[in-house]
Structure 1
Amino acid sequence: MTDIRISRRAALLGAGAIAAWASSPARALFQATDSLAVPAFIDALIAKMTLEEKAGQLQLMASAWGGGVATALNPPSTGPSFEGQIADAVAGKLTGVFNGNGAEMARRMQTAVMKQSRLKIPLIFAADVIHGHRTIFPVPVGEAASFEPDLAMRTARAAAYEAAGAGIDWTFFPMVDIARDQRWGRTMEGAGEDVLVGELFAAARVKGFQGKDLAANDAVMACIKHFAAYGAAESGLDYNSVDLSERTLREIYLPPYEAGFAAGAMSGMASFNEINGIPATANKWLMQEVLRDEWKFPGIIVSDYTGDEEMIAAGYARDGRDAARLAILAGVDMSMQSNLYTLHLPELVRSGAVPQAVVDRSVRRTLAVKNMLGLFDKPFGRIDLKREKARSRTKASLALSREAGRKAIVMLKNDGDLLPLDKSAKIALIGPFASGQHDLNGPWVVYGDNAQAIDLATGIRNAGARNVSVTLGSGVEAPLAGGIDAAVAAAQAADIVVLAIGESEGMSGEAQSRADIVLPEPQMALAEAVAKTGKPIVVVLKNGRALALHGAVKDAPAILVTWFLGSESGNATADVLFGVYSPAGRLPCSFPYESGQEPYHYDHKATGRPAPDGPRVPYKAQWRSAPNAALYPFGHGLTYGKVGYGALTVAPTMAWDGRLEVSTTVTNSGKRACEEVAQLYIHDRTASITQPVRKLKAFHKVALAPGASETVKFTLTREMLQFLGEDLKPTVEPGTFDIWIAPSAQADGAKGSFELVKG
């Protein structure tokens, strides 16, 4: 049984955050204050540095010798050749590079710096290791569907092991932005719409990447991004403005960042967006008052790719000099890619526009982090060509990819127990994702290769199915000549259709906002035509976000959400299709009825005119064309078992300083073993600040044999009932609370209520 629980915010606020830091590896080096406890040699080194060398330590650039598809993942820019970049590093104009071409690239650069540079300050090598390095795991939102933070910690550990073997010291992950608008393409990088799930996965991923010792050659530094509230971009439009009350910011968007930093992450990344009119890259309130003063974060903050320079186009900075001044004064220690710090910081200090102490502080933080990573003692500690090859795509990492893949799959629907499939059935595998080495790894993969991943057709055949036909039927966003006719013929000749449709890698991820989160029209036409054959259909969705399902897809008797599963995609999907593994994933983001419901999240407020259950009533909070609900809500997911919930056992009152145990019996009356995710929700009926209709507080993952029952217990504390009061401080008030142990955010499951009594 997996037991996940966390107090409302108390565990991450104030003393809790300091306690978390005290037990982390970071505590050995850093004080929990804005100043750093650093070895004496670092201050002595800073005293020897010129202003130009100090600026260089605060400038990070994309590698001129890029790795994999790195150049396609960021906007094009001009820069020096690789030899020119080495010369810049030797001259002290560069702190490091990112998304480079492995250990050989790092070896050549580090060798030049350690032999030829004046101060012998080692370079740092960073990369976008988002959901794997060479072995690719499910996209993060898919991994969150496992509802197993421990799984995320293990995949992060495996990714760190591979990446560190290739000379990488630092990853720009985890992304912990709450995503409540599924039009936003970067939904795929996070953990979905819920705060608790966001907190737990943020902490797990940090611990996985950083391990027990950041100086170890299998650890990389985590980077919490994008600070802050990037997921709240207006209209789900990437890079767009964010306009939030401080209450919403603190209640919803900030907690996962805080959880990641409290878990020991030693770096963070400023987000592209503005918040309430001030770009995050120049936001002193965010970078200093919240991050440094409240949370006691001692590490480094880096801008996002040219984020400082982009303040010019946003109308906040006059020019590059002004942008550099605003960013460094706000507390952004390191500039990524724009080169503005190298160009302007020395003159800004000499003119008095930026105090030298501000620059020295950022240099001190940067060097302290490099020291923590072991770079001063062992500048080549992670750079080993033999180790790079030996650690790449091992049997263990590929097995973990397969495990993570099948745990990520969510079964939305299984009418008539159509699944699991019989291997002897005649299967028509139809759709643009039926076969081929494409769109398997998913967005934001720098070093993985789709050519090495397992496609669906291969996975199905690996599972032992032999009577399988494969027909594309359509392209992803364009029809194929004769495609539908071929698909219909294949369906008619088969017992069952597996329809592999959804989004391509290019339709999800950064800069891939969608105004309408539906399947492309050519794929819908394919689905409708195949449905008319009358053959039973299993829809296998490939997606990086929640989708609005319509027509034949919505009406299909069985639907699997398979996200982008990575290296073992086809094998993991086949494991579920044929019942080798009973689906156990749960939705981390709600699937709406219509795109126009976005932004949508389960924990919305009731309003003064809530829509009732049942027939439509005039003048209520509702849409004309859709229910005020999700088609498939947060937390939903079916298994191959038949799980039922008994009555809720709960005392009528909870003492102010006491605890309250709530429980129910969960029974699998089916013939197959399964895992059930029992979710604990509460609702504060009356409070000085209106509260969501439900809020997730904990969950259990329970293994159930056929016919077995399990008593699921949760213990509530007063801290778990807290909310932010009028003064934006955690508070709790006596009163009546509704409570559910349920299989989703819209299911009743086991329901009851209790009274919190003071005195």
Structure 2
Amino acid sequence: MSTDHEDRIKQFLGLMTPEEKLGQLQQLAWAWDTGPGTSSTEEAEAAARKGLLGSVLNVFGAASTNALQRIAVEETRLGIPLLFGLDVIHGYWTTFPIPLAQAAAFDPAVTETDGEIAAREARSNGVHWTFAPMMDVTHEPRWGRIAESHGEDPYLTSRYAAAKVRGHQGTDLAAPDRIAACAKHFAAYGGPEGGRDYNTVDVSEQRLRNLYLPPFKAAVDAGVASVMAAFNTISAVPAHANPHTLTRILKEEWGFDGLVVSDWTGVLELIAHGFAEDGAAAARRALGAGVDMEMVSTTFAEFGRELLARDAITEERLDDAVARVLRLKLRLGLFERPYVDESAAVTEPSPATRAAARDAATRCMVLLKNDDQTLPLRPGLRSIAVVGPLADSGDLLGTWTVPDAQRRFPAVTVAEGMRAAVPQAHIVCVPTGTATGAAADSAGQAEAVTAAASADFTVVAVGEPPALSGEAAVRSDLELPGDQRELIAAVAATGKPFAVVLFAGRPLVIGDWLDSAPAVLLAWHPGLEAGHALADLLTGAVSPGGKLPTSFPRAVGQIPVHYNHERTGRPYDPAQPDEKYVSKYLDLADGPQFPFGHGLSYTTFTTGEPSLSRTGIPADQLSDGATVEVTISVRNTGDRAGDEVVQLYVHDLAADIVQPVRRLRGFERVTLGPGESTVVLFRLGAEDFGYWTNDPEGVFVLERGAIDIYAGNSSTARKCSRLTIN
């Protein structure tokens, strides 16, 4: 913590009136409408001119931010600059794959690169602060915001959370190419009942700490500048007014000295929750619990003086909140450089950033199925049909993109990518109907089938468009919308070779059509360079190496289905499939359609047994920082180069709190040529073997006993070694 910053904060606090202090806790929205209660541009300008505004969101562009900043800096008594925030989720101009797709790379460098490029582009346009990364671990694919998450595993999400913070913030927030990150949503937002957004989350303390909180702790340890409260309740207490999470855990236990911001009107919504009877009560409960800045709703500013006067909030708490706002502005260097150089603003993606987005997209795609080496495309094809509702669509950027980027820089289409990659082939593109479930275009489908019957190979581009994923995009049916399944069946009936390219912002239910599709490549929503990246993989210029960061269910009724579930007293045993009185469905095969960690390559790999540096270790040595080294050999047994993700899982056989059947505790993506091999090293310590109890004070325990350590290329790995903690 900078002494100079703290001295300046004290000076400002000594000069500020209560109204000015409360003004620093207010964030208003610019004219871009993203939800209920939108503030007008005039309201934000008026508050800034009175010195009663701390931040503005959804304003961007160097000229616009400079104009508003001049009001705050040059026309107010104290000249405190404004903090400009924007949802820069997976790119500013250069749109990268959605976060869920990035997690499929099993390579945090992908998201760090995204963060660096987005920060450079955003900061040059006057944006100081992004509301990312979202690190809500979720087992709920119906929930649209799974697209913005990193999937179902806390360890994988933690690694990505830290990487995104590093990418956005670097080592100096005041640098002209860095922005402040925001860890959201605190906490347990990913566990809503029924998958419905903004809904109830009833969670035990141990699950809160073992599943939902680790990524936030990783972000805090990485130096994240801010944290956003969640819309949901946490065991019947709204997250916006939850002192246990916001103050006791985040600020006291973890020592977080950054800024806690509400979500959009989240403070006012305490009334709808039934947790506050009016705006004054909402302000009292949220500010008292640890929220430092209020987004869009205005209860702090409206009722703060009244609450101070009757000691409903303390001056100490108010000053602490204001100090956190000022601290972030000082760390960003806004007092020294409140404006941006309008002539230096980045206004479009560069060839270098496009290349980075293309590389990221190829690393994120997952080959789900590839019978008889259908892919890559064989050389010498004379004609290729590209059919389906997404065959010629530029709407592949994904949810949460900057509106101007969507309009000005749409994604490279599948057809465009194939024409560039296979110029010698005749590419016939036949878009069919829609991917939203709207009325099908039967004429287009007939034309598509005719094209497939005449082509040497067909690429069937199907899935859900970005509009069906993201915030407030909950689906009860996760199968392909509309008549896309019928299209796949009709193409299959031609008897000609084809592959399905599946675009999605979530795990989808892949039904009967899977049996008829010889190859399925999951492209997610791959961003700006979608078509080029896809062509790289289809043609074999790049071999797929992505893995699933979330399980794919067989049916919606199976949800939640995830690899890291707890063992039951009557677990299903595949060796006894007819046993009735076990945990299973009568009408559905056990387990997901595709498990966490699954992903194929154009080559083959073998993974060796995990080799332990020791088979036994005293618990007190682990508690003192000792580690166990685990080495795993991996060999490319095929005839072409490729990537494999070596995955390491642990299972505590018996504990005072029932443990998940598997917990991911290590992964490394390696590239090997034909016949090449390497050895991957992991170091496991107390945090990998222990767990948090249900004690609300936060008790982490490391028990004695046996730990099974699994190694392989998915969560179904069977090669195992045993460690004894004594």
Q: TM-score, normalised by structure 1?
A: 0.91
Aligned-partner SS, 1:121: coil
Deviation at 1:444, TM superposition (A): 4.1
Instruction: Summarize the Cα distance change of 1:356–1:585 in structure 2 as closer, same or farther, 3 Å threshold.
Output: same
Deviation at 1:443, TM superposition (A): 3.9
Aligned-partner SS, 1:678: strand
Question: In the alignment, which residue of structure 2 is the partner of 1:572?
Answer: 533
> Is it true that 1:387 corresponds to 2:318 in the alignment?
no
Q: Deviations over 1:446-493 (max 9, x none)?
A: 442255221111111111243211112231112014122112111111
Question: In the alignment, which residue of structure 1 is the partner of 2:406?
Answer: 449
The amino acid of 1:701's aligned partner reads R
Deviation at 1:757, TM superposition (A): 4.5
Question: In the alignment, which residue of structure 2 is the partner of 1:432?
Answer: 389
Instruction: Summarize the Cα distance change of 1:107–1:534 in structure 2 as closer, same or farther, 3 Å threshold.
Output: same
Q: Deviations over 1:196-224 (max 9, x none)?
A: 10110011101110111011111110101
Aligned-partner SS, 1:710: strand
> Is it true that 1:305 corresponds to 2:292 in the alignment?
no
Preserved CA contact (<8 Å) 1:524 1:553: no
> Is it true that 1:77 corresponds to 2:47 in the alignment?
no
Instruction: Summarize the Cα distance change of 1:593–1:713 in structure 2 as closer, same or farther, 3 Å threshold.
Output: same
Moved more, 452-461 or 646-655: 646-655
> Is it true that 1:645 corresponds to 2:602 in the alignment?
no
Q: CA RMSD in A?
A: 1.8
The amino acid of 1:77's aligned partner reads G
Aligned-partner SS, 1:739: strand
> Is it true that 1:268 corresponds to 2:268 in the alignment?
no
Out of 458, 461, 468, the position equivalent to 2:416 is 458
> Is it true that 1:336 corresponds to 2:303 in the alignment?
no
Aligned-partner SS, 1:672: coil
Question: In the alignment, which residue of structure 2 is the partner of 1:15?
Answer: none
Q: Deviations over 1:112-166 (max 9, x none)?
A: 2222111111111110000000110010010111111122111101110110010
Aligned-partner SS, 2:150: coil
The amino acid of 1:511's aligned partner reads A
Question: In the alignment, which residue of structure 1 is the partner of 2:518?
Answer: 557
Preserved CA contact (<8 Å) 2:614 2:628: no
Question: In the alignment, which residue of structure 1 is the partner of 2:162?
Answer: 203
Question: In the alignment, which residue of structure 1 is the partner of 2:358?
Answer: 402
Out of 1, 6, 23, the position equivalent to 1:56 is 23
> Is it true that 1:581 corresponds to 2:548 in the alignment?
no
> Is it true that 1:494 corresponds to 2:461 in the alignment?
no
> Is it true that 1:519 corresponds to 2:515 in the alignment?
no
Count of paired positions: 712
Moved more, 659-668 or 569-578: 659-668
Preserved CA contact (<8 Å) 1:438 1:450: no
Deviation at 1:269, TM superposition (A): 0.5
Deviation at 1:565, TM superposition (A): 1.1
Moved more, 367-376 or 469-478: 469-478
Alignment partners' CA distance in 1, 2:686 and 2:313: 47
Moved more, 719-728 or 675-684: 719-728
Deviation at 1:76, TM superposition (A): 4.2
The amino acid of 1:56's aligned partner reads G
Alignment partners' CA distance in 1, 2:245 and 2:684: 32
The amino acid of 1:396's aligned partner reads A
Alignment partners' CA distance in 2, 1:235 and 1:289: 29
Alignment partners' CA distance in 2, 1:245 and 1:265: 26
Preserved CA contact (<8 Å) 2:29 2:44: no
Question: In the alignment, which residue of structure 1 is the partner of 2:677?
Answer: 709
Q: Deviations over 1:663-711 (max 9, x none)?
A: 3432212111001101011222222222111111111222110122223
Aligned-partner SS, 2:680: strand
Alignment partners' CA distance in 1, 2:417 and 2:675: 31
Instruction: Summarize the Cα distance change of 1:450–1:533 in structure 2 as closer, same or farther, 3 Å threshold.
Output: farther
Alignment partners' CA distance in 2, 1:726 and 1:384: 52
Stretches of structure 1 lacking an aligned partner (at least 5 in a row) = 1-26, 30-36
Deviation at 1:78, TM superposition (A): 5.0
The amino acid of 2:716's aligned partner reads Q
Aligned-partner SS, 2:318: helix
Question: In the alignment, which residue of structure 2 is the partner of 1:245?
Answer: 204
> Is it true that 1:365 corresponds to 2:324 in the alignment?
yes
Preserved CA contact (<8 Å) 2:139 2:560: yes
Aligned-partner SS, 2:446: helix
Preserved CA contact (<8 Å) 1:539 1:553: no
Instruction: Summarize the Cα distance change of 1:230–1:528 in structure 2 as closer, same or farther, 3 Å threshold.
Output: same
Aligned-partner SS, 1:521: coil
Alignment partners' CA distance in 2, 1:433 and 1:523: 10
Deviation at 1:726, TM superposition (A): 6.3
Alignment partners' CA distance in 2, 1:450 and 1:496: 32
The amino acid of 1:342's aligned partner reads A
Alignment partners' CA distance in 2, 1:698 and 1:450: 40
The amino acid of 2:666's aligned partner reads A
Alignment partners' CA distance in 1, 2:681 and 2:311: 62
> Is it true that 1:688 corresponds to 2:650 in the alignment?
no
> Map of 1:676-755 to 2, 5 A cutoff?
676-725=644-693, 727=695, 729-748=699-718, 751-755=719-723
Preserved CA contact (<8 Å) 1:424 1:467: no
Q: TM-score, normalised by structure 2?
A: 0.95
Deviation at 1:441, TM superposition (A): 4.2
Instruction: Summarize the Cα distance change of 1:654–1:28 in structure 2 as closer, same or farther, 3 Å threshold.
Output: farther
Instruction: Summarize the Cα distance change of 1:521–1:725 in structure 2 as closer, same or farther, 3 Å threshold.
Output: same
Alignment partners' CA distance in 1, 2:723 and 2:213: 30
Aligned-partner SS, 1:318: coil
Deviation at 1:289, TM superposition (A): 0.7
Deviation at 1:57, TM superposition (A): 0.7
Alignment partners' CA distance in 2, 1:706 and 1:309: 60
Out of 12, 24, 42, the position equivalent to 1:45 is 12
Alignment partners' CA distance in 2, 1:352 and 1:553: 64
Structure with larger RCO (C-alpha < 8 A, sep 6+)? 1
